[in-house]
Structure 1
Amino acid sequence: MEKHEMAGDFPLTNKIVLVTGGGSGISFEFVRLAHAKKAKILIADLQLGEEARQLVESQKNVHFETCDVRRWKDLRGPIDISVRIWNDVPDVYIAGAGVFEPKWSNFWQDPEDETYDSIAINVNHPMKLTRIAIQALLSRNKKGVVCIIGSIAGLAGNYAVPLYCASKHAVTGFVRSMAPCEELEGVKITAMCPWYDIYPTTKRDFGLIATTDMLSSAVKTPLWTNQPDKMDQFNLDGAETVTAAQVGEAIVSLVEDGQYKGGTVLEITAYGTRVIPEWNISPTPTKLTGLVSQAEIDRNLAPIKASLNNQRTSLL
């Protein structure tokens, strides 16, 4: 089988970068860092946060395109814009848009009749963007990099947020499946797994890895702050073990550094970064500061129990 040149070291300078979800949070931090490295940037998002708006308005090489990542037509649009503005397709594709089981697409509250939109956003969007990226890069005979923002929720499970965990497991499996693409086509596909530290909700785990340190750990982005109910449910009001800027810097390394090959799943926590192996994964490091209290477990599961109790009542 014919092989192509590996992506290797891939500095962002003068590269064209497409970022979904780049209007805020982790994805915007990557945008900010890529801009500082003189990259040309396309932000594809529903709206811009204030910092992103200021950057777009003040910099000629940062453009914004309204994009609903559930619509594949919207995902293809920025490619045409890149060609029109810079006469080339993007070199780097960051799939950063995502949701954390909002009320409008939630397994336990179950408001949808046709499909889970959270799966369309967290799973279908990064997979389709990757396919679009490969097609665009091959059309110009270019090397390139795709990075999907996953989560360590893709390495374990959680009864309270099963759709979110399932979606991030899908990202992990997809990226590992795409590992040969770098060697065969010159397109490196990777995943960044930030530290969304939600303690497990199966009793067999409580005495092993659930600790009070794990109860208040998250990258504080709009994924959380736009859902006050989730902030309260998971006791995250004062939490922040890894900043969005730190995750952005890790994504830069994942894109630029040739030591990270296609198929790499890179975890970042308060204890550093590590490449997650495909087999025999050890638990994420954490400080054993004490067991989770029953009150915290009850708090975490309360919305689920309330929803199911209502269902029992409706069936009587």
Structure 2
Amino acid sequence: MRDSALLFAVRRKAASNLATRTTLRRAFAGAAILALVPAAAARAADISHADISHADAAQDAEPAGRPVMPVTSLEVTFGVYALGSKGFELVLSARRDADSLRIDTKMHTAGMLDWVMRFAMTGQAVARLDGDAVRPLRYAANSDGGWTKYATRMSWDADGQPIINMLQPPVEDDDREPVPEALTIGTSDPTSATIARALRGGATPACSGTDAIFDGRRRYDMHYTPLGPDWVKPNNRSAYSGPAFKCEVAIEPIAGYTREYLAERRPEEETPTTVWLAQPPGTDIWIPVQLEGGFRLGSASGWISAAKINGTDWLKPLGLIRPEMPDRDRMLP
């Protein structure tokens, strides 16, 4: 009976107004989709991990001189949890050939969040491979949040300048100012930019520097900071445990955000998202295996739940995961 009251309280709080629903959805999506549409307000959570030194990491790394397997296809499934429940599931599929890259994404709500506020998103990014550089060519995203539906289509000209082919709803009907063209020069879509870092390879991931992002509506910078080798502990929500590299990703809003978001934003509450990346044996790519972030109603955590490389399981899919209930004393009025 009390569990039913708890669920009702969560639903009532989350559905009380559009701003709260949007905040919750952004928090889940931000943790789940670091590789796609990062949250504008993510807070890193401190987690106790087994200590691992640079020497330990070197022992777990691939022996020097071992041939590196070229990765032509990748499929990763991620689960994101908050308030004791699974909130989102994300599936990212990438295919690469000699000179091009295509990334397809699917994300949908799950568990209690699906009951509170159903949301689904699909996306596709196509890029040209130019040596070590990933040049975006096309980007599309569609989302359906029940109350609002969004669609974006973008392309890039020969000079690398983004062109908006379609926005639904238009910016003028979306409670936001358009991003000035001068701010979009030299930008990439969020998917291509993050995948480019994953494909960069090397003994450590590309966890430093800044990416300038434009998703058709918003312009923001993603700032990466390396935190060093770490260890992902076994977890029944994760298909991976073992050595990893810990990074910090901070989002800096630049332009194109809704007036509602700008009115509610509290920059002093915003802290970076923490991501752990692992390098599958025999490859030179780095894949996110754990994420930690936060939002006004609590914290969100994400874990990889399955992964295929070149059509073969690297991490086999998890079985049934027992849900955890939020802290009753904190959630009940």
Question: Which structure has more RCO (C-alpha within 8 Å, separation ≥ 6)?
Answer: 2
Q: TM-score normalized by structure 2?
A: 0.27
Comparing both structures, which one devotes a greater share of its residues to helix?
1
Comparing both structures, which one devotes a greater share of its residues to strand?
2
Q: TM-score normalized by structure 1?
A: 0.28
